[in-house]
Amino acid sequence: INWLDAESGSDDATPSRGARVGTSSGSVAKPVLESCGQEVALKNDVIPKNDPVAKHYKKSGMLGSVTGMFGDKQTMYCHHITASGELAVRAAGQRRFFGEEEVWAFLGKRCCGRFAYNRSRRSLACGKLARGDHDNTCNAETCLFVKNRLMCPTPAWALK
């Protein structure tokens, strides 16, 4: 398997966070977008406040509770949501995936961006990652890759 750190350009044979550029069969995978521009209208309420999965996006601590009142949340990655706007893990149900390509196909997009609030459009919009600025919210309840013991597409350089 060939892994590429998106910032340094160095190969890493260790399965860690990073953009996948090859497959185990040696063929080159389709590129993963830095951001796809997908928008999710807040009226769609992808994650209601009382939903158990909301805990993964809630800021913690004293400062987190203050900033949370103003809408600041932990990072929701684009690959957590399907192209149709559903929570990916919930939409997949008990279905199992055996490769990253299967997950990308199910999601209906190939993007490792993150959602941020767009005040003017009252929506969440997918944008590019910034170095060292994002929370590690990928787990079996939020990320289909992790749930299926596959490589999460969030690059290590983007995490705090």
pLDDT in tens, 86-132: 999 999 999 999 999 999 999 999 999 999 888 888 888 999 999 99
How does pLDDT run across 125-148, given as a tens digit for each residue? 999 999 999 889 999 999 999 999
Q: What is the 3-state secondary structure (H, E, C) of the chain?
A: CCEECCCCCCECCCCCCCEECCCCCCCCCCCCECCCCCEEEHHHCCCCCCCHHHHHHCCCHHHHHHHHCCCCCCCEEHHHECCCCCEHHHHHCCCCCCCHHHHHHHHCCCECCEEEEECCCCEEEEECCCCCCECCCCCCCCCHHHHCCCCCCCCHHHEC
Higher pLDDT, 24 or 108: 108
Q: What is the pTM of this model?
A: 0.72
